[in-house]
Structure 1
């Protein structure tokens, strides 16, 4: 999987992770899958999500890893009784989504592999600027 046990230590303690995941590897795996798909929804139009999420160890973008952890924890906390610790999770989730929206809008440009078409050129939200030839109406 893209997210490791070590990655969570940046955003949550080991004991708290066990509590929030309800000590179920299945709960954690489901939340991580949802988080990666949510991130892909924002990045897919411009970036190569397959390359982003197949990277391992030091090749992974640390910010994407952190936000993937935050989003996964947010989804795991939704199943907690009385929404324990949901304020922190909600704040971190909203920060992650705000960053992803900034990337999607082109205001933030992360160091991620671009999606390329069959011709090897970047695809997605690429703009080509040009203008028509100026018309001269001399009658």
Structure 2
């Protein structure tokens, strides 16, 4: 499991987490899966998302952990009656998306494993610059 109870304590208290997840492990698991897929949509072109989300403990990127929690909590709060506490969840969700967009645009370069092919060559967002040989026409 990529996200732990301790990870949520950084962004929300225990009591609030129980309320927002409606004391359902299934709701929480679904929201976490949605958050991982949403994050992967931004990171997949360049980074190895399988390796990112397979990491455990201190090997995980702390910002990805925090933003996964924020996005999962945002999705869980969407099901709350009268959108209880949704302002802070929406603010943190927007901040997570802004960070992901900056990573995608190359403005932020996180310490994440790059996507590679079978030969170990990076596959995502790589550019190869070259030109054709110069043509010489002698008439």
TM range (shorter): over 0.9
Aligned residues: 139
Are positions 1:97 and 2:97 aligned together?
yes
The 3-state SS of whatever aligns with 1:9 is: helix
Q: Say whether residues 1:23 and 2:23 are aligned partners.
A: yes
Deviation at 1:124, TM superposition (A): 1.5
Shifted more, 8-17 versus 128-137: the winner is: 128-137
Cα deviations across residues 67-119 of structure 1 (Å, max 9, x unaligned)?
Answer: 00000000000000000011100010011011111111111110000000112
Show structure 2 runs of 5+ residues with no match. none
1:7 alignment partner in structure 2: 7
**TM-score, normalised by the number of residues in structure 1:** 0.95
* Alignment root-mean-square deviation, CA: 1.1
TM-score with structure 2 setting the length: 0.95
| In structure 1, C-alpha distance between the alignment counterparts of 2:132 and 2:108, rounded to whole Å | 31
Shift of 1:133: 3.2
Q: What do residues 8-64 of structure 1 show as CA deviations (whole Å, max 9, x unaligned)?
A: 011001111011001111111110010001111111111001111010000000000
Partner of 1:65: 65
User: Distance in 1 between the 2:136 and 2:13 partners?
Assistant: 71
Following TM superposition, by how much is the alpha carbon of 1:123 offset from its aligned partner in structure 2, in angstroms?
A: 0.4
SS of the counterpart of 1:115? Answer: coil
